[in-house]
Amino acid sequence: MVTINDVARRAGVSVSTVSYTLSGKRTISASTRARVERAIAELGYHPHAGARALASARTNIFALMAPLRPDVDVSVIMQFVTGVVTRARTADYDVLLLTQDEADGVGRVGSGSLVDALILMDVESDDPRIPQVAALRQPTILIGLPEDARGVSCVDFDFEAAARLSLRHLTALGHRNVALIGPPPAVIARHTSYADRLLRGYRAQAEHDGVGCVIEPAGTAPGEAVAALDAVLTQVPELTGLVVHNEAALPVILATLRDRGRRVPEDISVVALAPADVADAQPVPITAMDIPALNIGQVAVDMALARLRGSDTVETRLIAPTLHERSSTAPPR
């Protein structure tokens, strides 16, 4: 194993000089720097992560706690993860992947100084992890918005506003017989933060616009999506407007609508909450509130970095929704 000592000897300088060339925390003459860098390249030196962590109290690792469970929508999760990992790397950070189902994962990686900051996904309205991270030295960023966010920074898509806007888009077009096909029942039962806010927004807007409030959760399996749609059609036979927030269900619902003889948008208008690529890739491009999942992951990292640089402002950032009109909405006939 090649150490900083080997580099120093080879370059004819002291160990500390090598360290300072690497970190840039002191000025180093151009010629010295060059010799050190050559030695590093020749020896193929990589600093020992553990030693570095011990001496500097920094690991350059983030913990990302992601929901590796079947009931959440994999493609969106992946986008968050991708956003986090790629942005972290640009700041020379690595990402440690944790699951929810370890009881004290937070304490272990936090108190054990394994990571410099934590990013938590799939936040619930009253999330048990919040007191845990609050006890930590490391800053934490939540992707999601709990009821009580004291002391932790949050970032998320503004699902409440998104739900309101989606419905308003339909009612503004003149639709009165509308419904929402929402997240899986399990997600709602857990009071996952986004689901709570989504439903709250939808209910408020339905009341505000004076339309009936029909909400049907849908599981991730195709059969469940069909069942949910049929349940909606039973409750609202005259249905002309549908809001869908459920990645997995979207294609199935569109296919089933066709099966049932309902054309989109002539008979039924559909608004989705989904990443742009998903909405765009459907047989009929879907008018949607684009969920910028990749971007939210990146913002989470940026907030973590800011905190590590000393900013102690705990903030909540809600990404405002923008409705992207595609071909799936029209006035009712």
Partner DNA sequence: CCGAGTTGTCGAAGCGTTTCAACACCCTAA
Partner DNA sequence: TTAGGGTGTTGAAACGCTTCGACAACTCGG
By rule CB under 8 A, what string of x and - marks binding of each residue 126-145 to its own copies?
-----------x--------
Q: Does residue 136 interact with DNA by CB under 7 A?
A: no
Yes or no: say if 187 and 71 are a contact pair by the CB < 8 Å rule: yes
> What's the min distance (Å) between Cβ of 302 and DNA?
22
Q: Which does 25 bind (CB under 5 to 8 A by kind): its own copies, DNA, none?
A: DNA
What residues contact residue 281 under an 8 Å CB cut-off, 6+ apart?
A: none
Look up residue 6 and give its two tokens.
């080997």
Interacting stretch for DNA, rule CB under 7 A, among 25-33, 64-72, 194-202, 308-316? 25-33
Q: Residue 295 has what DSSP assignment?
A: H
Q: Does residue 253 interact with its own copies by CB under 8 A?
A: no
Toward its own copies, which CB reaches closer, 65 or 305? 65
- Cis peptide, bond prior to residue 285, ω within 30 of zero: no
Q: Residue 147 has what DSSP assignment?
A: S
Q: Which does 86 bind (CB under 5 to 8 A by kind): its own copies, DNA, none?
A: its own copies
Task: State whether residue 166 is helix, strand or coil.
Answer: helix
Q: Does residue 185 interact with its own copies by CB under 8 A?
A: no
Angstrom distance (rounded) from CA 126 to CA 314: 19
Nearest to 206 by CA among 214, 217, 194: 214
Yes or no: say if 305 and 58 are a contact pair by the CB < 8 Å rule: no
Residue choice 25, 46, 150, 333 for contact with its own copies (CB under 8 A):
46
Toward its own copies, which CB reaches closer, 200 or 222? 222
By rule CB under 7 A, what string of x and - marks binding of each residue 49-88 to DNA?
--xx-xxx--------------------------------
Angstrom distance (rounded) from CA 50 to CA 90: 21
Task: State whether residue 102 is helix, strand or coil.
Answer: coil
Q: Which does 81 bind (CB under 5 to 8 A by kind): DNA, its own copies, none?
A: its own copies
Residue choice 171, 192, 282, 328 for contact with its own copies (CB under 8 A):
282
Q: Which does 213 bind (CB under 5 to 8 A by kind): its own copies, DNA, none?
A: none
Task: State whether residue 59 is helix, strand or coil.
Answer: coil
Q: Which does 13 bind (CB under 5 to 8 A by kind): DNA, its own copies, none?
A: DNA
Residue choice 61, 214, 288, 319 for contact with its own copies (CB under 8 A):
61
Task: Return the bridge partners of 65, or none.
Answer: 98, 120
Q: Does residue 29 interact with DNA by CB under 7 A?
A: yes
Residue choice 10, 40, 45, 72 for contact with DNA (CB under 7 A):
45
Q: What are phi and psi of 143, to 5 degrees?
A: -100, 100
Helix ranges restricted to H, the chain: 4-11, 15-23, 30-43, 49-56, 74-90, 105-111, 129-134, 159-173, 185-189, 193-209, 222-235, 249-259, 276-281, 293-308
- Cis peptide, bond prior to residue 183, ω within 30 of zero: no
Q: Does residue 1 interact with DNA by CB under 7 A?
A: yes
Q: Does residue 172 interact with DNA by CB under 7 A?
A: no
* Contact residues: its own copies, CB under 8 A: 1-2, 44-54, 59, 61, 64, 68, 70, 74-75, 77-78, 81-82, 85-86, 89, 94-99, 101-102, 107-114, 137, 221-223, 226, 251-252, 255, 258-259, 277, 281-283
* Contact residues: DNA, CB under 7 A: 1, 3-5, 12-20, 22-23, 25-29, 31-33, 45, 47-48, 51-52, 54-56
